[in-house]
Structure 1
Amino acid sequence: MKGLTLQKAGIDAGGSLMKIVYQENNKKHYKKYPINQINEAVSWLKIAAPNLSVGLTGGKAHLIQKKYLHNAVLIPEFQATCEGARILMLEEKKRSNQHFLIVNIGTGTSWHLVAGEKYERILGSGIGGGTFIGLGSLLTKKEDFQDLIHLANKGEKENIDLLVKDIYESAEPPIDGHLTAANFAKGLKVKHSDADRMAAVTNMIAETIALLTLQAAAIHQVKSVVLIGSTLIGNESLTSTLEYYLKRFELEAVFLGKGEYCGAVGAYDFV
């Protein structure tokens, strides 16, 4: 890439990742770095385009502005996320009405209510990608996100979660027997693998997010849910479980292909 071909960029610097959307030769491109590689990411930007216009958002935006990009524009995180989601929905032709929820599953999870041109953060939870990696590493001794996803995708939650059918045994349960009665309740009483532990972690995260989403949707009379965030990328077990529960709740689940870049897209659009 030659210098000065980049004209502007949006950066979302969160708890785990630094996501960059940049324009090169009138086309948008997407790039991400682990947050501990800020030096490498900013050095690449400065070499590529010394006079680049940058929009910054996310928890570490102030740090990056102060230390590296003094002329960058700071955009409030929730504003950037919601505006970026709107833009990506149009670009990806994901249809929704003007009244929906955005569920951003990053290190933690945030819920935003979108009503026309207005948006509002209505809820937050510490359950999210940080839980997936942190609890997953404690239970399996593996710390790589992709390794944990691989385990979750091949595990069986019922080898460690107590299901409704386990309680009723031979009797007919009054609700779906495959629903979780108690997360991790079988503990050490039964044999299970690292993959089963990760499947149970994933299910617990999905159930918690789905139940909080149901409550928020009921309060605000919303039927459409747009799910975004880095934790969903390549995480088939999590996305399929979320989709399953939201469908049971009669909610429409919309997943954005570039959903992890919503904040960066919103920051990019601002400059």
Structure 2
Amino acid sequence: MKPAKIGIDAGGSLLKIAFEEQGQIHYKSYPIDELHSSMNWLKMTAADTPIVLTGGKAGYLKKEFFQNARIVPEFESSGIGGSYLLKQDGLSYENFLLINIGTGTSICLNSGGKISRVSGSGIGGGTLMGLGSLLTGEKDFSRLVSLAGSGKAENADLMVKDIYSPFDPPLDGSLTASNFGKINDDQVSKEDKAASLINMIAETMVLLSTQAAVRHQIGDIIYIGSTVQHNEPLKHLLKKYTAMLGKNPVFIQNGAYCGAIGAMLSL
């Protein structure tokens, strides 16, 4: 069955595709190193289907594969897709922050339906894969997530309670004083290193997000992106730290495809 329309979010690590077929929206993703094979296949099977592109490699896809495709800004498409998926999950927020944790991270403000990028960071899924490989020798996303789920970050991180020991600290002793502050210990396992890495990413994202939320008087923070998908350790920490700082953490089904679905819906 030929799709009625297609949206493609071509990021730094993944190609995310949303397509409508017989009134239903479907999703697919491919690693970026399968770009040529997947796009050549799509070009053959979906010839003449309207396609909208977004993401960092959208221009390349247009030039090499889909000359008639339209390109939409990735922040705009993520905002459209995020709002749509929130409604699909029965949620509705007039104003919210959309935190897209992909290869890197973008922090966007949705104010009355208008989306704008207000902050961001180079820390994201690329950090997890690159630094995770250096620390553990593992190059597979699911394997790194599994390691993190079995490890304890405090075995690699220097905690506030460690600094003040043997006395009671003046603030919560379970807070991180220094990410990887104990990494010179030969007893730190791969699992603990992976857990520490996930913790560092979560803490950084939450601090940046909540700072932006305070600045723009926002209470609801929506976390999306491929790095969050199938990553329960990261999701758990994002929930924990966001709530700890007084904001409402929200996760939506198929949040990794916000850009792709927003591109498709712009047709």
| TM-score of Structure 1 vs Structure 2, range by shorter chain | over 0.9
Match in the other structure for 1:212: 208
Cα deviation, residue 95, structure 1: 3.3
How does 1:232-243 map onto structure 2 within 5 Å? 232-243=228-239
Structure 1 runs of 4+ aligned residues shifted over 3 Å read none
Partner of 1:154: 150
1:94 Cα deviation after fit:
2.4
Paired amino acid for 1:22: F
Verify the 8 A CA contact 1:229 1:259 in the aligned structure 2. Answer: yes
Native 8 Å contact 1:55 1:72 kept in 2: yes
Q: Tell me the SS of whatever aligns to 1:6.
A: coil
Tell me the TM-score normalized by structure 1. 0.96
**Structure 1: how far apart are the matches of 2:253 and 2:17?**
15
Structure 2 counterparts to residues 260-271 of structure 1, below 5 A: 260-271=256-267
CA-to-partner distance for each residue in 1:233-266, whole Å, 9 max, x for gaps? Answer: 1111111011110001110001011110000001
1:28-47 aligned within 5 A: 28-47=25-44
Please give the residue correspondences for 1:8-19 in structure 2 after superposition, counting only pairs within 5 Å: 8-19=5-16
- Residue 52 of structure 1 is aligned with which of 49, 53, 63? 49
Task: Tell me whether 1:120 sits opposite 2:116 in the alignment.
Answer: yes
Contact 1:10-1:20 at 8 Å conserved across structures: yes
**Structure 1 residue 50 displacement after superposition:** 1.4
Match of 2:180 in 1: 184
Return the offset for 1:56. 0.3
How many angstroms does 1:181 deviate by?
Answer: 0.8
Distance 1:22 1:220 in 2: 34
Contact 1:7 1:49 survives alignment (8 Å):
no
Name 1:85's counterpart in structure 2: 82
- Partner letter of residue 138 of structure 2? K
Amino acid at match of 1:253: P
Task: Report the Cα offset of residue 170 of structure 1.
Answer: 3.0
Q: In the alignment, does 2:69 pair up with 1:72? A: yes
In structure 2, what is the Cα distance between the partners aligned to 1:171 and 1:51? 70
Partners of 2:58 and 2:115 in 1: CA distance: 21
Question: Shift of the alpha carbon at 1:200?
Answer: 0.5
Identity %: 46
Query: What's the Cα RMSD here?
Result: 1.1
Counterpart AA for 1:37? E
| Structure 1: segments with no counterpart, 5+ residues | none
Report whether the alignment pairs 1:140 with 2:147: no
Q: Which amino acid aligns with 2:237?
A: T
- Secondary structure of the residue that 1:189 maps to in structure 2? coil
Amino acid at match of 1:230: S
CA–CA separation in structure 1 for the residues paired with 2:87 and 2:67 = 32
Deviations 1:117-168 (A, max 9, x none): 2121000110111001100000111111111111111110111101111122
**CA distance in 2 between partners of 1:117 and 1:159 (Å):** 44
* 1:47 Cα deviation after fit: 3.1
Quote the offset at 1:176 in angstroms.
1.3
Q: Which amino acid aligns with 1:61?
A: A
Q: How many residues align?
A: 267
Give ranges in structure 2 of 5+ residues lacking alignment.
none
1:9/1:22 contact within 8 Å kept: yes
CA distance in 1: counterparts of 2:82 and 2:114, whole angstroms: 13
Alpha-carbon distance between aligned partners in 1 of 2:207 and 2:44, rounded to the nearest angstrom: 46
The answer as to whether partners of 1:160 and 1:190 remain within 8 angstroms in 2 is no
